[in-house]
Chain A
Amino acid sequence: MQFDSLQGFLAMGGYALYVWLSFGVSLLALLWVVVDSASTHKKLLRNAREEQARQARIAAARKAQALQSESQQTGS
């Protein structure tokens, strides 16, 4: 350990502002990338699920419509 006390460690020999600013901003920047990547992942999966459900609904509605018009044709 290069420092005698916690105060000494935090003071960084008078360069506290520059050292802690560097480490702090770097930590925030790296954290931001990971959080952004993970939240985008969740969002994309949710969107994919919604889109596929929508497609399934459209397909089902088309099928129902086709059946209906078919039965109308045979009925008349």
Chain B
Amino acid sequence: MWKWLHPYAKPERAYQLCVTLQPYFLWPGILCLVAGSIWGLAFAPQDYQQGDSFRIIYIHVPSAILSMSTYVAMAVAALVGIVWQWRTAFMAMIAMAPIGAVVTFIALFTGAAWGKPMWGTWWVWDARLTSELILLFLYLGVIALYGAFEDKQQAGKAAGVMALVGVVNVPIIHYSVEWWNTLHQGATISKFDKPSIAPEMLWPLLIALLGLALFIAAVTVMRMKNEIIRREYHRPWVKDLAARALGDDHAV
């Protein structure tokens, strides 16, 4: 396992891996997102209490679940970077932070737009909403801290420690609806029991979830490529790459 994994700690190999993976993540991801949205918007049955407003679920729930999963993935990358001193692990960490922040923003925004017609308010300071907002701040904190250091190995360590400490927030978000009395409803899908939702509503939701997961992976891989180039600026292989990608006129 280690022998197989180790070459990918080398930036050039990691870059090649990203190039290979990107189309397999991006296009199926977009396809599933579109399919899940159309199915959810037009074909899934109406909710008997919430009418058509419940259709927001098809972005709200996938983005909320994946905002936490992405955070955990980012923290794992940070741990690998800190323990084994892998430069590429820190690059993966900082590649995931922006898309994680965007997905968290989407979860919060769609939640507000769903809360307005159903609860009568865009925002309440209840446990679920507040802890999810803290998740957004953690992502932004990791990005800002990473950007504050000139030396990117130092930056990776500092931001990595912050990412690791922030992991404590993830179970708080998940269990907030059980631990506290919240306006937010309890879990319907992510629980160790049969999901309490009709299958014709559940399927498009699962497809949208898969689509968003693949999309996040695709963006991570895209940004990982950028981080590698940023750190390998002066290497010959980057020069060759630039020459090929830009259709070079004054290359050697």
- Known pairs A22-B60, A46-B246, A48-B239; A13 contacts B229 (CB<8 A): no
Instruction: Report chain B residues within 8 Å CB of A9.
Output: 41-42
**In the complex, what residue of chain A is closest to B222 when comparing beta carbons?**
A37
Instruction: Report chain B residues within 8 Å CB of A13.
Output: 46, 51-53
Measured CA separation A13–B239 after assembly (Å): 56
Segment among A25-33, A58-66, A67-75 that sits at the interface with chain B: A25-33
Instruction: Report chain B residues within 8 Å CB of A46.
Output: 242, 246
Contact check, B234 vs A52: say whether CB atoms are below 8 A apart. Answer: yes
| Residue B82 lies at the interface, judged by CB distance under 8 Å to chain A | no
Contact check, A49 vs B248: say whether CB atoms are below 8 A apart. Answer: yes
Q: How far is the CB of A4 from chain B (nearest CB, A)?
A: 12
Instruction: Report chain B residues within 8 Å CB of A53.
Output: 250
Count of inter-chain pairs, beta carbons less than 8 A: 116
Q: How far is the CB of A72 from chain B (nearest CB, A)?
A: 30
Q: What 0/1 readout, one digit per residue, does chain A (29-51) give for beta carbons within 8 Å of chain B?
A: 11011101110111011111101
**In the complex, what residue of chain B is closest to A41 when comparing beta carbons?**
B226
Contact check, B37 vs A30: say whether CB atoms are below 8 A apart. Answer: no
Chain B interface residue count: which class? 35 or more
| Residue B230 lies at the interface, judged by CB distance under 8 Å to chain A | yes
Q: What 0/1 readout, one digit per residue, does chain B (222-246) give for beta carbons within 8 Å of chain A?
A: 1101100110011000110111011
Contact check, B106 vs A29: say whether CB atoms are below 8 A apart. Answer: yes
Measured CA separation A58–B243 after assembly (Å): 20
Contact check, A12 vs B53: say whether CB atoms are below 8 A apart. Answer: yes
Measured CA separation A29–B98 after assembly (Å): 11
Instruction: Report chain A residues within 8 Å CB of B223.
Output: 37, 40
Residues of B bordering A, CB below 8 Å:
33, 37, 41-46, 51-53, 55-56, 59-60, 63, 98-99, 102, 105-106, 109-110, 113-114, 116-117, 215, 219, 222-223, 225-226, 229-230, 233-234, 238-239, 241-243, 245-246, 248, 250
**What 7 new A-B contacts, CB under 8 Å, besides A2-B46, A52-B242, A55-B234?**
A13-B52, A22-B56, A26-B109, A38-B222, A41-B229, A46-B242, A52-B234
Residues of A bordering B, CB below 8 Å:
1-3, 9, 12-15, 18-19, 21-23, 25-26, 29-30, 32-34, 36-38, 40-42, 44-49, 51-53, 55
